[in-house]
Amino acid sequence: MQILSIVISCVLALTSILLTSLVLFHKGQGGGMSDVFGGGVSSSLNSSGVAQRNLNRLTVTVAVIWAVAIVALALMQRFAAAA
């Protein structure tokens, strides 16, 4: 049980870093914080529609794995405390 908890914690840490990176890769849709990080400068480097869709799919997939890892850790802690 302890090894599984460590593995899930590592998955959670890796997906947290990857999810943060993937969200920052998305193209800004207007004003706000995206312009602070150079949204106006990269207007000539816009990605194609296919690349943007693939980035969206990858972001959603990583977010689902991240959420499952959080729920799994919470359930493991809940049942470990009850035992």
Question: Is residue 29 pLDDT above 90, yes or no?
Answer: no
Q: What is the pLDDT of residues 50-68, one digit of tens each?
A: 988 999 999 999 999 999 9
Among residues 3, 2, 47, which one has the least CA distance to residue 26? 47
DSSP-derived 3-state class of residue 30: coil
Nearest to 59 by CA among 27, 14, 23: 23
> What band does 44 get if pLDDT is binned at 50, 70 and 90?
very low
Task: Name the amino acid, one letter, at 60.
Answer: V
